[in-house]
Structure 1
Amino acid sequence: MTAPSPGLPEAVVRDAREFGEYARTGGWAFALKVARSVRPGGQPAGETPKVSAKRFAELAGCSPERVMRYYKAWDMAADDALVPHLEALVPGEDIELPDADVWLSYYNSRNSASSVRGTAIAAAAEAEGIRPTKALEIAENPTALRAAILADPSTAQAARAALLDRLKEDPALQTELARDIARTDELKKAVATETQVAGRIGYVRQIVENGQVRTPAGQTIEASAELRDEAERHLSLIDELDDDEEAGQWAAEAYGAVKDLVVQSVEADPELRLQERRTKFYSSLQKATKVFQELTFDDVDDLDTIYEDDMVQRLEELQQAIATCVTALRRAAPAQP
């Protein structure tokens, strides 16, 4: 032991020595005090004088549960022949202690360790190749976890990846997260942007993988060789982007390029161009029909409560436009034999 420097207060020297002992042994120094002085349930007659965990906790000013966690840690280490067995120790006896770095492998300061939650966390930690005590420590200190996520991008990325994995098997969490996004304007905008990007990439990917494409009017047609080659070229550029690179601009360019080629393909084929016009007309007609059908007076007791001159004028104009359209279509109908 290093001799104290002359003139130093004895209290300072004692604190330094006790600190050095703890730095070398960690929790083992406290576990020894429990292991050599406690026997759960008290001391049977004729045995070495020890006290119950409850009595030891009263003397120490802590909880019996905390005392027993130290007791169990020592007992597990004894099973591994790392320290002497509990009954081999007597109060006041000092022994050589293990290094501090193995203490957490045996000690668990969390009551949840033996719970269903604690067991699940420990199993997940082992699957990830880390000590269960480390995962349990983090799980029981969410404030520290939050601080690390807020301060460190790499921690935030790890949390994001873990959360995504958890979402796959947790419908309740999916609902909660979706609700949080819906209530946060910034996240709603980000989701809308990413949804648009994903939709554009999906449009291009479908051309490459299925050889088909949807026209502006909604037809599904076979993609030409030129169109497939262009789609594949853009898709390969997108797939080669790093995870931290934004795909928005690349997706917009790819989508724009293939859409232009689709339009050109439609215009270059008279039959396809005619079918596109017919499909577009039917689509517009169906939308107009649906909108008009939603106009109803069923829930209005007195029409005069909703009457406006403009309503009549608009309906009359609509009636005239429909009549003109019907007349034009009848003239275009094939002559009956």
Structure 2
Amino acid sequence: MTVAIVAPEAAEPDDTRAADPAAMPEADPAATRELLERDAREFGAYARTGAWTFGLKVARSVRPGGQAAGESPKLSAKEFAELAGCSAERVMRYYKAWDKAADDGLVPHFEALAPGQDVELPDADVWLTYYVPRSSATSARGTAITAAAEAEGIRPTKALEVAENPTALRAAILADPSTAQAARHALLDRLKEDPALQTELARDIARTDDLKKAVAGEARNADRIEYVRKVAEEGQIRTPAGQKLDAPAELRAEAERHLSLLDELDDSEEAGEWAAEAYDTVKTLVVETVEANPELRVQERRTKFYSSLQKATKVFEELTLDDAVDFDDIYEDDMVQRLEELQQAINTCITALRKASETR
């Protein structure tokens, strides 16, 4: 049998009836009202129950694990996913969420549900207690991220999403100062318990000249602040020669004043100039304290002399013990001259000390 295909009659150039909404037949007002009310009811149901609505569709349509195809009219998760146009893994996440909720008595078990059956559903907010949105959440890494998110009082889904997209995290850090600050604080907290990360970060800093200089500057500022803090809080000073002494009341009060100014600085404020001013002020007062006390001034000179003598002795002992084995290999013309000059300086120092002892 031959089927004749008849071409539709060509429309006139000025025939615009199909494109003109005003020319279209008017819809039945009652039917339109019914469609609008149905959308409103479905919207309200979803607003109240959220993803439980989709969980129910899976629970009443996917057969429980262990059941063969002939034992139930329901579909396998794979078949359901193919009809839904999504992955079986996604279907199983809804399945497992419903299973957990059923064990807690919030919803009926799969076996009690028939295809198309409606039941009362829990509130939407409860869904996130049972639903794991990503398979990564069940891994050791995902479990740790979930626990950390809960400890911070945020939804694990947010943290897992960020963890699965480090490129997006990098973009946010580069573009947004507040995100960079949050990342910095988190990284510092992580460093306390991660020696490997400490080593890697230290290596990165050492290889970056700008960071290396910045770290050196901050370390210097920290040392200066700590010096002022010890004077203010412990009431002790260390003289240029290394003596430890009780700080005079005036000096300690000045250290406390500078320390209070330093403690009031915000994290965003540069502490370098304040630290340098506090350190220089306290160091100057220490020197003035030493110079104002004749006995202390003498003791300072004695301590400094002993310190220099001990250093020189140690250096010369290392020089002679390590290098005097075979002078033939290392000899230079000016070595003897330098040692003779050193010997003369030592003899002069010994003579002065003996003369001083005779006058005591």
Shared fold per TM-score greater than 0.5: yes
Q: For 2:155 and 2:312, how far apart are their aligned partners in 1? A: 65
Aligned length: 319
Measured at CA, do residues 263 and 88 of structure 1 come closer, stay the same or move farther in structure 2, by a change above 3 Å? same
Deviation of the 1:287 alpha carbon: 1.9
Counterpart residue number, 1:37: 62
Within the alignment, does 1:163 sit opposite 2:221 as a pair? no
Counterpart residue number, 1:269: 293
Deviation of the 1:221 alpha carbon: 0.9
Counterpart residue number, 1:116: 140
Q: Which secondary structure does the structure 1 equivalent of 2:268 belong to? A: coil
Within the alignment, does 1:318 sit opposite 2:342 as a pair? yes
Q: Which has the larger radius of gyration?
A: 2
Q: Which amino acid aligns with 1:180?
A: D
Counterpart residue number, 2:200: 176
8 A Cα contact 2:78 2:88, kept in partner: yes
Q: For 1:57 and 1:181, how far apart are their aligned partners in 2? A: 50
Q: Which amino acid aligns with 2:139?
A: S
1:197-236 → structure 2 map (5 Å cutoff): 197-236=221-260
8 A Cα contact 2:52 2:122, kept in partner: yes
Q: For 2:285 and 2:236, how far apart are their aligned partners in 1? A: 13
8 A Cα contact 1:213 1:220, kept in partner: yes
Counterpart residue number, 1:142: 166
Q: For 2:322 and 2:244, how far apart are their aligned partners in 1? A: 40
Q: Which amino acid aligns with 1:200?
A: R
Q: For 1:287 and 1:56, how far apart are their aligned partners in 2? A: 84
Runs of 5+ consecutive residues of structure 2 not aligned to the other structure: 1-19, 24-38
8 A Cα contact 1:43 1:50, kept in partner: no
Within the alignment, does 1:303 sit opposite 2:333 as a pair? no
1:249-260 → structure 2 map (5 Å cutoff): 249-260=273-284
Q: Choose 110-119 or 317-326, whichever is displaced more.
A: 110-119
Q: For 2:56 and 2:243, how far apart are their aligned partners in 1? A: 79
Runs of 5+ consecutive residues of structure 1 not aligned to the other structure: 8-16
Deviation of the 1:200 alpha carbon: 1.0
Aligned-residue RMSD, C-alpha: 3.6
Counterpart residue number, 1:14: none
Counterpart residue number, 1:192: 216
Counterpart residue number, 1:128: 152
Q: For 2:335 and 2:135, how far apart are their aligned partners in 1? A: 71
Q: Which amino acid aligns with 1:126?
A: E
8 A Cα contact 1:28 1:103, kept in partner: yes
Counterpart residue number, 1:12: none
Q: Which secondary structure does the structure 2 equivalent of 1:45 belong to? A: helix
> Cα deviation per residue 1:102-148 (whole Å; 9 max; x = unaligned)?
76554434333223332232222222111122222222222222222
Q: Which secondary structure does the structure 2 equivalent of 1:294 belong to? A: helix
Q: TM-score, normalised by structure 2?
A: 0.74
Q: Which secondary structure does the structure 2 equivalent of 1:221 belong to? A: strand
Q: Which secondary structure does the structure 1 equivalent of 2:328 belong to? A: helix
1:280-299 → structure 2 map (5 Å cutoff): 280-296=304-320, 298=322
Q: Which secondary structure does the structure 2 equivalent of 1:304 belong to? A: coil
Q: For 1:41 and 1:58, how far apart are their aligned partners in 2? A: 20
Deviation of the 1:263 alpha carbon: 0.8
Q: Which secondary structure does the structure 2 equivalent of 1:242 belong to? A: coil
Deviation of the 1:174 alpha carbon: 2.6
Selected match of 1:49 from 67, 70, 74: 74
> Cα deviation per residue 1:3-33 (whole Å; 9 max; x = unaligned)?
xx959xxxxxxxxx9xx99x98987787566
> Cα deviation per residue 1:52-85 (whole Å; 9 max; x = unaligned)?
x456567878765444223223444666788775
Deviation of the 1:232 alpha carbon: 1.2
Q: Which amino acid aligns with 1:48?
A: P
